[in-house]
Amino acid sequence: MTSTAHSTAGAAVPALEVDLTYGGVYAGTSFEFSPAMADHFNAAAARANGVLKGEFRAFSAGEAFSIACPTRPVARTQFIAAYNRLRAVIDGEIEIHLGDHPHLFSAGLDDPQTLRGTPTYIPKSTMPADFFGRPHSLELYQDDVRIFGPAERFFHTATSGAVFNQIEDGHGRIVLEVRGDLDVLGRRGEVVFFTDPAFGEPTAITQLNDDGSSTALDWHMLGRDHVGDVMLFNEWVAVGVAPRGERLVLEVELPNRAAGLAAALYSGHTRDTAFRPDATVI
Amino acid sequence: MPRTALEALAREARTEQPLVARGVTDAGSMYDTIWATFRDDVAPWATLDYAQDVIAGRLLASIRATAGPERPSVAIVSSPAIFDQAGVLEPFEAPFADRFPPGWADAAGRWTPLYVQPIVAIYNVHRTRPPRGWLALGDGLEPGRLVFDDPVRMLTTGPALAELSSTFGEAGWEALIRSLADRRPNLVADNERAVLEVSTGARWVGLSNWNVARRVRPGTPVRHTFLSPTPCIPGFGLLVRDAPNAGLARLFLAWLGSDRAQQAYARTGRIPARLNVDASPSLTEILPAGVEPLFGTADWLTDPVRWTQRFRDLLPADRDGAREGKLR
């Protein structure tokens, strides 16, 4: 809940409170955005009504890393004003104004007029050459007030951590394959998904193991991401994930045959083939 | 005797290490199987600095830009002629040269064949049926649903399509390439990306070398099928001039033609370029009945530039940013 307020330029801007349920601000996850993916978000913003100033920044293709800030829900207008005052400070030296970069706002589940956080996607090309592939100290400030950190976060390369390799189309489902270093993912047991509302909400999640066995998983809805009045995706997390080999395969059963956005992420790198605007439930 | 030649090379190289090598073979196969066998067989003192690089232009640029102990002395490539034309190659001894199919080993000793890759059609079983032949590869596909590594790169699809010119004749071959161009194919940087694109369902049909096409997860919707004829494209070993530890490089390249080296390549899942060596997999073992292998019928090996220009003309595309599939 908002506990304090700053008065800036005549507008009341609430102080954001970081939601620590999933560990607070997570940062350093690596992404590869295809031109089609950037077009997908940019086209959604172009056709949306009621997009507020500071709500959307155009996406572009290329590699990016995220700084994701889950917060207690705040009214949409106030959240956007507050978000545009956030600064990430890395290693006490590098300052990033989150509002300057592409971002996606997640609406609260109980009240869609509130927002509960946002991942911000910062081009990797803006960072020093040797920045990725190691941990850094992260702090988050709203104006001059620190609201999170310092905390250590690992900033991934395209090959470090779990590599979200692909999301396959399937009959009544999509199928995620993850490779790479699955240790951190296994310790937390979580995989975050973005799935197009056209698919409906998932009805079952199954982990497939290379030995032919399978495990039913639980999941929790986190939010519904919008730009203006256009809903972009359901954001949810599969829990109880327990990798048992060199790869992790999750089947996500979805009720509606459709084509649209499907993405999966956690500590590591998401390839453009696992962040698809054209995933299809056949 | 080849074995005697290896022993002589080993005596000359005994104080040399490490071997710096780069190329298309994946690092796991190189370190765990091929190099381990090499050390066990003839060079127990030797150490290796190897990294995979499948992009010939990048590897050539890297060789040109690197001097001193970091300079690779061995390159493993699909298209050796561009390295020869760039003047970076040194001839070397190839005591097993007469045991390879005609046309693959170079009389001047500039390259040696290592393994052979049959080129297969891949398809997404959720989306389409297996292509029935080369001329039907794009049948029923909407534009953008076909994928293969850019033939201009002369990695595997370029040489494979070049080989097919002997099958279809000049006019028929151009018609084949134009029919592929009509499908507006997605041209990617490597075979892994082609398989990845078909696996997701973003593309429905593609081309890949057999080794990559079958290295997929259990339950994948990607399948592969052999078309007749099946072009078979070798990978080659090269000696880079003015590189360190050239004696060790010469020993390694000479050894790669031996029975044990060819069998080591087979243990990595690749088909040895010496087609009669006792190893599994072999070409005769994997080709279905009625499917003929095709190799050595076109001059892509000695004149890749002509083929590259033909592919540029017939397959116009924006070639910036072709996507890679390998996990590095």
CATH number at residue A187: 2.60.40
B308: left (phi over 0), alpha (psi -120 to 50) or beta: alpha
Domains of chain B: 2-116+233-285 (3.40.190.10), 117-231+287-314 (3.40.190.10)
Give the pLDDT confidence score for residue B302 in this predicted structure: 86
Place of tokens 């890393």: A65
Which residues from chain B sit within 8 angstroms of residue A282, using beta carbons?
126, 201
Q: Answer whether B126 sits within 8 Å of A273, measured CB to CB.
A: no
Q: Which residue of B has its CA nearest to A249?
A: B217
Are the C-beta atoms of residues B52 and B27 closer than 8 Å to each other? yes
Same domain assignment for residues A24 and A147: yes
Exposed, middle or buried by CB within 10 Å (0-12, 13-18, 19+), for A54? middle
Which residues from chain B sit within 8 angstroms of residue A179, using beta carbons?
327
Q: Answer whether A169 sits within 8 Å of B197, measured CB to CB.
A: no
B312: left (phi over 0), alpha (psi -120 to 50) or beta: alpha
Same domain assignment for residues A69 and A172: no
When scoring B200, B223, B323, B326 by the number of chain A Cβ atoms within 10 A, the one with the most, hence best to mutate, is B200
A256: left (phi over 0), alpha (psi -120 to 50) or beta: beta
Residues B235, B239, B243, B245: is their CA dihedral positive or negative?
Answer: positive
Same domain assignment for residues A134 and A73: yes
Which residues from chain A sit within 8 angstroms of residue B124, using beta carbons?
169
Interface of A with B in 172-211 (CB under 8 A): 175, 177, 179-180, 208, 210
Coil/strand/helix, residue B280: coil
**Identity of the residue numbered B149:** D
Average pLDDT over residues A114-121: 91
Q: In the structure, what pLDDT confidence band is assigned to residue A194 with cuts at 50, 70 and 90?
A: very high
Same domain assignment for residues A58 and A100: yes
Q: Answer whether B220 sits within 8 Å of A276, measured CB to CB.
A: no
B88: left (phi over 0), alpha (psi -120 to 50) or beta: alpha
Same domain assignment for residues A33 and A171: no
Are the C-beta atoms of residues B142 and B112 closer than 8 Å to each other? no
Distance CA A80, CA B164 (A): 60
Same domain assignment for residues A16 and A39: yes
Of residues B105 and A11, more confidence is placed in B105
Q: In the structure, what pLDDT confidence band is assigned to residue A20 with cuts at 50, 70 and 90?
A: confident
Of residues A8 and B41, more confidence is placed in B41
Distance CA B130, CA A58 (A): 40
Of residues A9 and A29, more confidence is placed in A29
Which residues from chain A sit within 8 angstroms of residue B219, using beta carbons?
175, 208, 249
Q: Answer whether B327 sits within 8 Å of A168, measured CB to CB.
A: no
Q: What's the complex ipTM?
A: 0.87
Q: In the structure, what pLDDT confidence band is assigned to residue A3 with cuts at 50, 70 and 90?
A: very low
Q: How many CB pairs under 8 A join A and B?
A: 47
Distance CA A3, CA A74 (A): 11
Could you say which of A120, A155, A190 is where a domain stops?
A155
Least CB-CB distance to A179: which of B126, B200, B327?
A: B327
Are the C-beta atoms of residues A137 and A91 closer than 8 Å to each other? yes
Q: In the structure, what pLDDT confidence band is assigned to residue A11 with cuts at 50, 70 and 90?
A: low
Q: Answer whether B220 sits within 8 Å of A165, measured CB to CB.
A: no
What are B's interface residues with A at a Cβ cutoff of 8 A? 124, 126-127, 196-197, 199-202, 217-221, 323, 327-328
Are the C-beta atoms of residues B128 and B146 closer than 8 Å to each other? no
Q: Answer whether A247 sits within 8 Å of B221, measured CB to CB.
A: no
Could you say which of A125, A140, A155 is where a domain stops?
A155
Same domain assignment for residues A32 and A131: yes
Least CB-CB distance to B202: which of A177, A180, A278?
A: A278
Q: Answer whether A280 sits within 8 Å of B201, measured CB to CB.
A: yes
Q: Answer whether B200 sits within 8 Å of A166, measured CB to CB.
A: yes
Same domain assignment for residues A133 and A179: no
Give the pLDDT confidence score for residue B328 in this predicted structure: 58
Give the pLDDT confidence score for residue A6 in this predicted structure: 44
Which residues from chain A sit within 8 angstroms of residue B221, using beta carbons?
168-170
Q: How many domains does chain A have?
A: 2
Same domain assignment for residues A245 and A169: yes
Give the pLDDT confidence score for residue B54 in this predicted structure: 82
Same domain assignment for residues A98 and A146: yes
Cβ within 8 Å of residue A2, ≥6 positions away: A14, A15, A16, A17, A72, A74, A78
Q: Answer whether B200 sits within 8 Å of A170, measured CB to CB.
A: no
Distance CA A7, CA A12 (A): 5
Are the C-beta atoms of residues A208 and B239 closer than 8 Å to each other? no
Asked if residue A143 has pLDDT above 90, the reply is yes
Same domain assignment for residues A49 and A92: yes
Distance CA A14, CA B255 (A): 72
Same domain assignment for residues A130 and A190: no
Exposed, middle or buried by CB within 10 Å (0-12, 13-18, 19+), for A140? buried
Exposed, middle or buried by CB within 10 Å (0-12, 13-18, 19+), for A56? buried
Give the pLDDT confidence score for residue B15 in this predicted structure: 93
CA distance A144 to chain B (A): 41
Q: Which residue of A has its CA nearest to B220?
A: A168
Place of tokens 């946002």: A118
Q: Which residue of A has its CA nearest to B322?
A: A34
Domain containing A169: what range? 162-281
The pLDDT tens digits along chain B (328 residues) read 678 999 999 999 999 999 999 999 989 999 999 999 999 999 999 999 999 998 888 899 999 999 999 999 999 998 898 899 999 999 999 999 999 987 788 889 999 999 999 999 999 999 999 999 999 999 999 999 999 999 999 989 999 999 999 999 999 999 999 999 999 999 999 999 999 999 999 999 999 999 899 989 989 999 999 999 999 999 999 999 999 999 999 999 999 999 999 999 999 999 999 999 999 999 989 999 999 999 989 999 888 899 999 999 999 888 777 888 877 5
Q: In the structure, what pLDDT confidence band is assigned to residue A4 with cuts at 50, 70 and 90?
A: very low
Q: Answer whether A282 sits within 8 Å of B200, measured CB to CB.
A: no
Distance CA B25, CA B35 (A): 12
Number of Cα atoms under 13 Å in the Cβ half of residue A231: 17
Are the C-beta atoms of residues B13 and B247 closer than 8 Å to each other? yes
Coil/strand/helix, residue A256: coil
Bridge partners of residue B23, in order along the sequence = B52, B76
Give the pLDDT confidence score for residue B1 in this predicted structure: 63
Least CB-CB distance to A166: which of B124, B126, B199?
A: B199
CA distance A267 to chain B (A): 16
Could you say which of A97, A132, A155 is where a domain stops?
A155
